[in-house]
Structure 1
Amino acid sequence: MKKITNFAINYDEDTKQQFTSCYNEKFVLSASLMPDAHSGYVAPIGSVLITKDFIVPSWIGYDIGCGMIAIKIGGKELSKDIQKDAEKIYEIINNKIPMGKGNYNNEKNISLKTKQEFTKLLERFKTKDYNKEDYNYISSEFSIKNLGSLGSGNHFIELSLHQEQLWLIIHSGSRKIGHTLAEKYMKLSQKINKGQGDFEKTFAFNVSSKEGKNYIKILNFCLDYALLNRLEIAYQIHLELENFYNKKIKFTLWTNKNHNHAIIGKNIIHRKGATPAEKGERGVIPGNMKDGSFLVEGKGNPE
């Protein structure tokens, strides 16, 4: 029997219908709806769906690897300086980091370390039976230009203060790379399942099929790519702050996690805008422009 858990308090009919439609699929073992859930393309944003043998590209959606990074910055004096210079800092970051739809990076602006890590991602992808068409796309010049760029929609860069501690919070994902590949595999899953009409529906791959394996491979690449993208954005902001204040500034990584992904194990855990929360696991939940973000640690609730 399926285990369905609903933590949501105020959710609309669209969210309810999407969640119900997803968990009614025969391959779903259990599902949870998060407190802040709202409607998405197919699966509600703020949902977790656990399946047996099947993976659903549309439940992960376009922004594969969308997630959050949190970094502790400097000390009390720097916090005071940045509050005083807030407008200048805003302008510096806004000019440095490519933002919005269609805005990408110049390859020469990307750090050497990120380029080296990107090369490692490509090497890990290029194993036996890899999809050459996918490889040609992810290894293109366009792919590296997406690194260090924020994107659009609800993606953001936040400098926030909590108890005199300054934090850098970034919300971004795999950019155009993930979007293009997600669309490709959503359309392919529709074709494999002989679906009609809109491809933004629940069409699944068996994880042992050729198509399923190819999707999982590109999924894992995009998840690592998204982690790297956020690190590069943070690195560039770090450099800009050091240049502006003409001194070394301590940056300490607190967490860097994806909340838009699928984890493949005995079963397949699909998370759509849902932060992993194993016991003691750090996470960031984006809030709003008034209250900021929430830094959390998981309690290990199996639901």
Structure 2
Amino acid sequence: MARLNLKAKEIRALGYEEGPVVSIAMQVMEKHYKHYTKEAALDILKNILSAPNTFANNDVLCKIANELMEEVPEEKSQIELPENGLHYNVFGADFIEEAAIRQMNGAARLPVTVAGALMPDAHAGYGLPIGGVLATDNAVIPYAVGVDIGCRMCLSIYDIDVRDLTRKEPFLVQALRKSTLFGTGREFEQGTEHEVLDSPLFNDLHILTQLQAKAARQLGSSGSGNHFVEFGEVVIEEADAVLQVPAGKYLGILSHSGSRGLGATVANHYTQVARQKRLLPSAAQNLSWLSLDEQEGIEYWLAMNLAGDYAKACHDVIHQKLSKQLGRKPLRIVENHHNFAWKEIHEGREVIVHRKGATPAGKDVLGIIPGSMTAPGYIVKGKGEPASIASASHGAGRKFSRSHAATSTTHSALQAELRKHHVTLLSGGLDEAPFAYKDIDAVMAAQKQLVNTIGKFYPRIVKMDGAGAANWKPTRKTPEEGE
């Protein structure tokens, strides 16, 4: 017998308003009335809508009825925000745009805000600025996490002679082409099996039930924009007890991507739910929050953590494929989220720490802070600085918008920059040219209080989305120029 499969538009057609009740209705009916016909299930939903009070004592249908009874009589009023918010610390203020400051000022005015900080790579985003860190009291803000939930860095370090980056470049180029896939909406023809796809949440949360198959086909792929996979040279100047890699030069693989369509769908859905529950002034609507004591907040927290696990799984698959191509296992893997929310202790109390484009930098916590396609990335160890809520930047940060970068940069200028830094770019657009980014060295200098540098990664063979820069190769060093 076919299982019941309802669509949101079919429930809304009965008169249900857009909101969490639609997802709850689908979840309840498909779980407890899975062998009913669609017509019979819709009749039940119609009856609940017409008289929700009569279903209040039904052990199953009360979940739907309670949502309707709460929504019908309640007339929500706009939440007024104070003129001035809590003080927050700014690192690298000299090169942070005013728009990012304004957005952070708005976040500091929220009634749930406990503390905040702005990282030196900060620039304007949606809701919380990218590079913004926000601690809240028992509340989670979907757009303070970001659309690309769990976007993260992953570095694999191999005990392989770095001269292979030149000697075996054609092989490494083919390995990248064979093992990676980039682009918005792109999927592999065949889905990949992974334990993350077996999570019961794909059945328990309706927003996820329709995403499982797509998630399987996108597992191990990367998005567009600044997502990348690259081979490069890892330099460890001095051995570190936490990193546990001897001083020296190593071949490395660095990747940057997130949770693909799964994370974007979760973020957009629960942002709309939050905006309906918390009516904020128009300038602050994308900062609407969900309490972790309410059903929607619990749902988002579970879905967010699954998206984070999925993002990690994508990196795992990419690095496993490339390790197989190399025929070697890595000496060390260093990785971290930078679009996520965590339960942490700050100044003696439990808070929800949102890091939107910010790297966790707790005491002795390892992380990767990339530069650009030509600038080095930094391997760092956190100092656990309370002033930044134990956080650091997630990269160099954009200096120019994508549109400005694409129109103000030429292909010849980009090629010259690639040659200067001995980088082969397999694919990538002008919007990601190095000129679009802040000086990573200046950004790192602005956060010496937050992290220690214990190594660097120098890009050599880079793959991103876009075919506009395919096969741009550097001019090789002559023997006289040295290593």
TM-score (normalised: structure 2): 0.56
- Against the structure 1 CA distance between its residues 143 and 93, is the aligned structure 2 distance closer, same or farther, given a 3 Å change threshold? same
AA in 2 matched with 1:100 = G
C-alpha separation between the residues in 1 aligned to 2:329 and 2:175?
19
2-structure distance, mates of 1:198, 1:218: 26
**1: CA distance, partners of 2:188 / 2:283:** 33
Q: How far apart are 1:89 and its partner, in Å?
A: 1.8
Report the CA distance between 1:87 and its aligned residue: 4.5
Stretches of structure 1 that go unaligned for 5 or more consecutive residues are 242-247
Identity of aligned residues (%): 29
* Max Rg structure: 2
Distance 2:271 2:305 in 1: 16
Across the aligned residues of Structure 1 and Structure 2, the Cα RMSD in angstroms comes to 2.2
Q: Compared with structure 1, are the counterparts of its residues 180 and 144 closer, same or farther at alpha carbon in structure 2 (3 Å cutoff)?
A: same
Residue 85 (str. 1) matches residue 168 (str. 2): yes
Partner of 2:458: none
Matched, 1:221 2:300: no
Contact 1:74 1:166 in 2 (8 A): yes
Aligned residue among 21, 35, 58 for 2:106: 21
Change (3 A) 1:199 1:178: farther
Q: Which has the higher strand share?
A: 1
Of 49-58 and 80-89, more deviation after overlay is shown by: 80-89
SS of match in other structure, 2:230: strand
Aligned residue number for residue 210 of structure 2:
137
Partner Cα separation in structure 2 for residue 217 and residue 116 of structure 1: 19
Relative contact order higher in (CA < 8 Å, ≥ 6 apart)? 1
Aligned runs of 1:38-187 on 2, under 5 Å?
38-76=123-161, 79-107=162-190, 110=192, 115-120=193-198, 122-123=199-200, 125=201, 130-131=204-205, 133-138=206-211, 140-163=212-235, 164-187=249-272
Q: Could you tell me how far apart the structure 1 residues matched to 2:183 and 2:285 are? A: 23
1:280 is aligned with what amino acid?
Answer: D
Paired with 1:61 and 1:32, the residues of 2 have a C-alpha distance of 16
Question: Unpaired runs of 5+ in structure 2?
Answer: 1-84, 236-248, 345-349, 388-483
Structure 1 residue 200 displacement after superposition: 6.3
Q: CA deviation digits over 1:111-130, x for unaligned, max 9?
A: xxxx242244x13x379xx4
Cα deviation, residue 197, structure 1: 6.9
Residue number in structure 1 paired with 2:333: 254
Q: Please name the residue that 1:297 is paired with.
A: 381
Q: For the residues of structure 1 that align with 2:283 and 2:160, how far apart are their CA atoms?
A: 52
Give 2:343's aligned residue. 264
Query: How far did 1:261 drift?
Result: 0.3
Partner of 2:116, secondary structure, is strand
Query: 2: CA distance between counterparts of 1:201 and 1:143?
Result: 26
| Alpha-carbon distance between aligned partners in 2 of 1:56 and 1:3, rounded to the nearest angstrom | 19
The 4+ residue runs of structure 1 with deviation greater than 6 A are: 196-200
- TM-score (normalizing by structure 1): 0.87
Q: Report whether the alignment pairs 1:208 with 2:293.
A: yes
Deviates more, 1:250-259 or 1:206-215: 250-259
Structure 1 residue 52 displacement after superposition: 0.5
CA distance in structure 2 between the partners assigned to 1:195 and 1:162 by the alignment: 47
Q: CA deviation at 1:268?
A: 0.5
Following TM superposition, by how much is the alpha carbon of 1:137 offset from its aligned partner in structure 2, in angstroms? 2.5
* More displaced 10-residue stretch of structure 1: 194-203 or 18-27: 194-203
Aligned-pair CA distance for 1:299? 1.0
Quote the Cα distance in structure 1 between the aligned partners of 2:309 and 2:140. Answer: 19
One-letter amino acid matched to 1:182: A
Report the equivalent of 1:287.
Answer: 371
Map of 1:245 onto structure 2: none
